[in-house]
Amino acid sequence: MITSESIGDLAAALCKAQTVMGGALKDSANPFFKSKYADLESVWAACRQALTSNGLSIVQGTDGTDVSVGVSTRLIHTSGQWIESTVWMTPKDNSPQAVGSAITYARRYGLAAMVGIYQTDDDGESAQGRAAQGVKPMQHSPAPDPTYEVDREIVEEYAATVRDLIAKGDTKAMQAMQYDLRDDETMFTAVWKALNTKEKTAFREAIKAK
């Protein structure tokens, strides 16, 4: 995180804004964990009025490398003071859909983290190690259920989460993710197909690890 030389006025304004901010409404379905989560629109709805009423605004911009996209979120006060941080994501490929999904994901988390908005962090449930001990890992890619279509944006978001966990070497979180997916074979298959061969191997080895 980086800031302007002084943030005293900004800090005071943000303190006032946070006293009236509500939580982001969990109004989007997430079949990956069979739960609800707050999308970007909900996060904005929870903080926009409180921010603007206290002289605060948000600017988000994108950046990128050959393999990653970044979204910088800057919180600005009318005094000119500011705070900025950047979230980096790795899309599964360079298609507009994959890149757009990663940007939306980074915007949502960057905004929520910057202003202190609570949202349902479905990815975080895996990171907290929800998998039960002694559960046998899935040894094969399950057959999808043809009766419904998965949300491609959610698939891209969680494929990106898998890649991030692989990069961090977070075996326990990947095991937790696999455990949750046992109840949704269609989503597991969609996420699995979004990974390349090297990523599938890393995910499989993490699942099988003790």
For residues 18 and 90, the answer to whether their CB atoms sit within 8 Å is no
* Tokens, residue 39: 């999308």
pLDDT confidence tier of residue 139, bands split at 50, 70 and 90: very low
pLDDT score, position 27: 53
Residue 118, Cβ density class (10 Å: 0-12 exposed, 13-18 middle, ≥19 buried): middle
Q: With a cut of 80, say whether residue 203 has pLDDT above it.
A: yes
pLDDT score, position 53: 92
Q: With a cut of 70, say whether residue 40 has pLDDT above it.
A: yes
What are the pLDDT digits (tens) for 143-159?
A: 443 434 567 777 788 88
Report, as an integer, the average pLDDT of 114-126.
59
pLDDT score, position 172: 82
Report, as an integer, the average pLDDT of 6-32.
75
Report, as an integer, the average pLDDT of 37-60.
84
- What structural domains does the chain harbor? 2-121 (3.30.160), 130-208 (no CATH)
For residues 120 and 46, the answer to whether their CB atoms sit within 8 Å is no
Phi-psi map region of 169: left, alpha, beta (phi>0 left; psi -120 to 50 alpha)? left
